[in-house]
Amino acid sequence: MTPHRPHPPRLAPERALPPYAYVPGRSPHPVSDPAGHSRGQAPQKPPPLDTARWSQSPTYLYGCDLFNHGYYWEAHEAWESLWHAAGRRGPVAILLKGLIKLAAAGVKIRQGRADGARSHAARARELFVELGQRFAVESIAGFGVNELIAFCGMARAAADKVLPDREDAERIVLPFVLAPHV
C-alpha cells in the first residue's frame, strides 16, 4: 500500500469522523444497513459551493477531512451533495465531480480493484484538464488545477501498487493530502 503519512489538521473539526470507513463488501452500508453509521440521518442538502468562499463551506471542508482520513466513500457522498447543489454543470460541478472520482479511486484501491481505481483516476484527470482547457481555470476552491491533475497521477500510481483484497488493508491508500489553500 502507500507509505504512511501523518493525518493533516482537520478543516471541519466540529464534525466528527464516522466510526468506520465504508468499503463495499467489508462493512455495513452506511445508509441501507441497520448497523450503518449514517442510518436514519437525513441526506445533506447544502447550499451550492461558492468557490470564492470555499473556506466557509462546511460540507466542502468536511469532504476534504473525510478524504484525508481515508473515508473515501463518505467524502464522495459529501461532495456529491454539493455537486447536486451546483446543478451538475459548469466549473464548480466539474471540480466536485473530479474530487468524487478521486474518492472513488480510493474506494476501489481499498477493495483491491486496481482497474477500477485507475479508471476513476483517469476520469478525474480528464475533468480537471477540462477545467483548465475549456473554462481557462487555473485555480478553484483552494486548489490549483495543475495540482489536482498531479493528484490524479499519484492516485493512478497508488492503483498500480494495489495488493490483493485483504481485511487488514490500510484506511489511507492515497499518498497525498487535499489541503485547499488561499
Task: For the chain, give every domain's residue range.
Answer: 57-159
Instruction: Kindly report, residue by residue over 23-35, the tens digit of the pLDDT.
Output: 998 899 999 999 8
Q: Which pLDDT score is estimated for 41?
A: 85
Q: Which pLDDT score is estimated for 2?
A: 45
| CATH 3.40.50.300 given to domain 57-159 | no
Instruction: Kindly report, residue by residue over 140-161, the tens digit of the pLDDT.
Output: 999 999 999 999 999 999 999 8
DSSP string for 36-65 = -TTTTPPPP-PPPP-GGGGGG-HHHHHHHH
Q: Any idea which residue has 493528484 for its cell?
A: 151
Outline where 20-89 has alpha helix (H).
58-68, 72-85
Q: Which pLDDT score is estimated for 170?
A: 72
